[in-house]
Structure 1
Amino acid sequence: MRRRLIVVFLVPLVLVLTVLGGAYAWSAARSVQQEFYAEQLGDLSYFVTTARQALLAGRSEVFDGEAQRYRELYGTRVVIVDRAGRPWAPDTAQPVFDGPEIEAQIRLALSGRRGELPQNALPWQFSDLSLVEPVFDGGDVIGAVVMSASVDVPRAEIGRQWLLIVAVAALVIAAGLLVVFRLAGWVLRPVRRLDQAMEAMERGDMDARIADDTGPAELHRMILMFNRMADEIERVVARQQEFALNASHELRNPLNALLLRVEVLAADLGTAGAADVEKIREEGQRMTRILDTLLGFARGAVRDSDFEDVDLSALVARRAEAWRDVAARKGLRFAVQRPPRAISRVDEAIVESALDAVIDNAVKFSPPGGLIELSACGGDAPRITVRDHGPGLEPAELEQASDRFWRSARNQNVPGSGLGLAIATDLLRSVGGRLHVDSPEGGGLRVKFDLPGAGER
């Protein structure tokens, strides 16, 4: 946005300076050229008077002396030509005139007419000046004065003025840049603070606010609306945290009581139901870990200190065993493919909860007698995959599969709320993982958990 503001302010400034500077540069060049022509014409008029006297007297000593001093002083050569067009000077042996243009001007002057002054030109087109003035005596032309002047001096003066114009324009642009940068900073300061406040809120800092007097008055309403929105978000999040804290606290007491009764029941049953009691005990302990995770979310999300190296192979096998009896009621079978070890640094309770949500979906939508495939892989990109052989989803439905409360139109008669994949997606995101859904060959649905490696934290 800063770049846009600079362009918006700077481009018109450069265009205005270019137009005004170009006009002034052209005017300055014309002024220098006209002043130079006027000076040359004035000097030429003086030499015409001296040349008339020399021609009438038949002696050129006075004229030659003045022409010599003039040439030494200004570098401009002045020569008299007689009525026949021949140079009348002491150094007539040297070439005096070169080019058909000067010869044409001499012929025009000897006919009694004056040549026109050259037109104004650009400095690189501004060539040496040759002026020819006829010398009259009582209305008769008795000769002409030829003046050949170098334009190095006026050309240098034009170049100096143009450089001065460029320097002034550069200074004005530099000053404009400074003003634009400061103006852009003043205008964008509340926008940057808004961005920082939004980033802070994304990190969980619900106290992020912006001062109402920041930036121009036009942005004060936007800042006020953001602060009100932040207040409302803080209230909503606070209510959610209070609900999670209360729910987890209220669930812990009956869960502890249930586990205590299980222990009493185990003592009464002895060895007869030891295996079932142990499974109940494991599920109760897992629910305790889930409640602890819920408390962690309510108190400020999961911390890195909660992460540990987890063997995904063992986790997948453990959850498949826990769901085996539920799946068996529909005649479903689990096929677990896993390497000896597949390590990921995550929160084990969160990954278990996400995996349970996906397995629950697979059990719901798999046809009776079907197969649910579970696999885990390690390395630099640990992954858990759950694949069922149910009706699957159409390609257009895959992007909506993880949306809350979304269900395919073909599965409206299956019990459920449409939250399973959405919950799993949120849980995995909290530990730095991602969930992907696709339709494999052969039908069904495949859900992949991409998890952080063992050394990524």
Structure 2
Amino acid sequence: MTRRLLLSYLSLMALVLLALEVPFGFVYARSELNRFSHTAELGAVTLAAVCEEKLEHGLASDLPQLARSYARRTGSGVVVTDRRGIVLTDTTTPTTVGRNFSSQPDIAAALSDRPATGISHNLAPGGKVLFATVPGTSSDTVPCVVRTLYSLDPLAQKVHATWTALALVGLGVLAVVALIGFALARWITRPLRALDHATRQLADGRLTDPPATDRGPPELRQLATSFTCTASRLQHLLRAQEAFASEASHQLKTPLTSLRLRLENFEPHLAPCAQHSLDEAIGEVGRLSRMVQGLLALARLENSATTPEVIDLDAVVTDRAAIWTAFAGEQRVDITVAGTRAGPVWAVPGALEQIIDNLLSNALRVSPPGTTITLATAPAPTDNGRTPPMAELHIVDQGPGMTETERQRAFDRFWRATDAHHDGTGLGLSMVQRLTQASGGDVTLDAAPHGGLDARIRLRPARVTRTRKHPVSRAGPPHLARAGSADQEHGQVRLLGDGAGSRARTDSP
């Protein structure tokens, strides 16, 4: 903003200088030309009177000396003709003596007792000259005509010097205005820079350096005061929400766990006909527990401002595929990794693992035995200047898929398909979308080309890498952690198993 303010000051001053100096320069050049013409005409009139006197006394032989003397004194060229236009003397071209110049316009006008003054390109060799042609008019007839020729180079040099002086003055004024404008712009924008710095701090989660409220224009001081009050209020609300999430996480887990234990204790004392209802109640308590955990996880995620870091997408995909392969094998479902290396991407720490785990959990719910879940990575394409290039990860299953309406609503909180099982919470895809957006990317659900669902995650690449074939992983390591409890380093978020696209009952891992 400092640069724009400075440019506005300089542009305004430049317009003022142009409006003042350009007309002044043209007026000065015009006045100098008029003065020069008037001086030349007066000199020619004086010389014509002397030449007329010489001719009246029969001293025509003195005219060449008189003309040369005048020419040396004034730096001009002199031509004198008689009453018929015959050249008596010419200091510029002596060979024209004796010629008849009565046909030339300025000589003809002077012979008709009309002085002529102007600029011509043809009266003297060497370019443009100022001429002043006047008659001797002390008698009724025109006894002689005097033409004086002046080079315009001295006048042009004088005018150019004036233009140069005006330009230097203008540059000097602009330099002074630039210094003053820069100081003024810095004074005006200093509170704005402080506000920008404070806004960035607030976006990172905590305002440690509030903007000063006693600097800059009054309007910006008031803005800084309002911003500080607003930021303080927001920080107070965020701390209150964080405290609520922490307390609720502890206070809600204990009674839910106790309720489940009490329900399980009823099992030996119930009639066989009530066993099914007890199982349903225990399942609902478990789903309620997962839902509470999901809501608390989303609250912590929305209240925290985590900065994305460079993460190796290919390594994370390979690792998660290896962990989930054994669980998929129990359902006779294959997990493969394909595509080309995507390279490093920007992502919130721990987000990629949670995204992949939730999407694989949903895909495994709906995948029939004998099918394959494919994790395909693709590097960022070449930047076409219209849309930023994004690396992609596709998680494609061969289940029944989802309708277009269901795909549009799948990311809504608590939404599940009408034929989904009741053990889902409807929060998994919502968390996937929130984690992807926090990483600076996006996620979409598309219909797979050969049936099923294609979950596409797009993330910002950290750098462009040369593509090469990604190794395919079909078997996991012998030692596997419990995938159904994908606790992450950041937030300890468990898989929510939202079941939004579930259409067939399978035991979730």
- TM superposition score normalised by structure 2: 0.63
Per-residue CA distance 1:236-286 (angstroms, 9 max, x = gap): 3212332344455568989999xxxxxxxxxxxxxxxxxxxxxxxxxxxxx
Residue 59 in 1 paired to residue 59 in 2? yes
* Higher mean C-alpha deviation, range 67-76 or range 178-187: 178-187
Q: Which amino acid aligns with 1:37?
A: S
Q: 1:135–1:141: 8 Å Cα contact kept in structure 2?
A: yes
Q: 2:310–2:462: 8 Å Cα contact kept in structure 1?
A: no
Aligned match for 2:402, one of 375, 392, 406: 392
Give the structure 2 partner of residue 117 of structure 1.
117
Identity rate of aligned residues, in percent?
23
Report the Cα distance in structure 2 between the residues aligned to 1:106 and 1:6, rounded to whole angstroms. 60
Report the Cα offset of residue 36 of structure 1: 0.5
Give the structure 2 partner of residue 334 of structure 1.
333
Q: Which amino acid aligns with 1:167?
A: L
Q: 2:119–2:128: 8 Å Cα contact kept in structure 1?
A: no
Give the structure 2 partner of residue 374 of structure 1.
373
Q: Secondary structure at the match of 2:136?
A: strand
Give the total of aligned pairs. 406
Give the structure 1 partner of residue 427 of structure 2.
419
Report the Cα distance in structure 2 between the residues aligned to 1:97 and 1:418, rounded to whole angstroms. 116
* Higher mean C-alpha deviation, range 248-257 or range 431-440: 248-257
Report the Cα distance in structure 2 between the residues aligned to 1:98 and 1:193, rounded to whole angstroms. 87
Report the Cα distance in structure 1 between the residues aligned to 2:463 and 2:110, rounded to whole angstroms. 99
Give the structure 2 partner of residue 73 of structure 1.
73
Q: How does 1:24-43 map to 2 (within 5 A)?
A: 24-43=24-43
Report the Cα offset of residue 76 of structure 1: 0.9
Go from structure 1 to structure 2 and tell me whether the alpha carbon gap of 1:179 and 1:451 turns closer, same or farther (over 3 Å shift): closer
Residue 187 in 1 paired to residue 177 in 2? no
Per-residue CA distance 1:128-151 (angstroms, 9 max, x = gap): 122222113432322222222222
Per-residue CA distance 1:404-440 (angstroms, 9 max, x = gap): 52748x6498755542112123446677886453321
Report the Cα offset of residue 40 of structure 1: 1.0
Report the Cα distance in structure 1 between the residues aligned to 2:144 and 2:460, rounded to whole angstroms. 104
Q: 2:308–2:348: 8 Å Cα contact kept in structure 1?
A: no
Give the structure 2 partner of residue 238 of structure 1.
239
Q: How does 1:346-357 map to 2 (within 5 A)?
A: 353-357=354-358
Q: 1:354–1:427: 8 Å Cα contact kept in structure 2?
A: yes
Report the Cα distance in structure 2 between the residues aligned to 1:24 and 1:455, rounded to whole angstroms. 59
Q: How does 1:80-99 map to 2 (within 5 A)?
A: 80-89=80-89, 94-95=95-96
Report the Cα distance in structure 2 between the residues aligned to 1:372 and 1:347, rounded to whole angstroms. 32
Report the Cα distance in structure 2 between the residues aligned to 1:304 and 1:219, rounded to whole angstroms. 35
Q: 2:78–2:90: 8 Å Cα contact kept in structure 1?
A: no
Give the structure 2 partner of residue 280 of structure 1.
none
Q: 1:362–1:372: 8 Å Cα contact kept in structure 2?
A: no
Q: 2:135–2:144: 8 Å Cα contact kept in structure 1?
A: yes
Q: 1:371–1:388: 8 Å Cα contact kept in structure 2?
A: no
Report the Cα distance in structure 1 between the residues aligned to 2:100 and 2:10, rounded to whole angstroms. 50
Q: 1:310–1:348: 8 Å Cα contact kept in structure 2?
A: no
Report the Cα distance in structure 2 between the residues aligned to 1:81 and 1:305, rounded to whole angstroms. 96
Report the Cα offset of residue 184 of structure 1: 3.3
Q: How does 1:196-207 map to 2 (within 5 A)?
A: 196-207=197-208
* Higher mean C-alpha deviation, range 370-379 or range 54-63: 370-379
Q: Which amino acid aligns with 1:446?
A: D
Per-residue CA distance 1:188-208 (angstroms, 9 max, x = gap): 333333322222233333334
Report the Cα distance in structure 2 between the residues aligned to 1:38 and 1:432, rounded to whole angstroms. 78
Report the Cα distance in structure 2 between the residues aligned to 1:102 and 1:240, rounded to whole angstroms. 105
Q: Secondary structure at the match of 1:89?
A: strand
Report the Cα distance in structure 1 between the residues aligned to 2:408 and 2:102, rounded to whole angstroms. 85
Any unmatched runs of 5+ in structure 2?
121-126, 259-289, 380-390, 465-509
Report the Cα distance in structure 2 between the residues aligned to 1:222 and 1:242, rounded to whole angstroms. 30
Report the Cα distance in structure 1 between the residues aligned to 2:456 and 2:395, rounded to whole angstroms. 5
Higher helix proportion, which one? 1
Q: 1:393–1:445: 8 Å Cα contact kept in structure 2?
A: no
Report the Cα offset of residue 7 of structure 1: 5.1
Report the Cα distance in structure 1 between the residues aligned to 2:363 and 2:154, rounded to whole angstroms. 94
Report the Cα distance in structure 2 between the residues aligned to 1:179 and 1:251, rounded to whole angstroms. 64
Q: How does 1:291-302 map to 2 (within 5 A)?
A: none
Q: 1:44–1:133: 8 Å Cα contact kept in structure 2?
A: yes
Report the Cα offset of residue 211 of structure 1: 1.5
Report the Cα offset of residue 344 of structure 1: 9.1
Report the Cα distance in structure 1 between the residues aligned to 2:116 and 2:333, rounded to whole angstroms. 108
Report the Cα offset of residue 54 of structure 1: 0.5
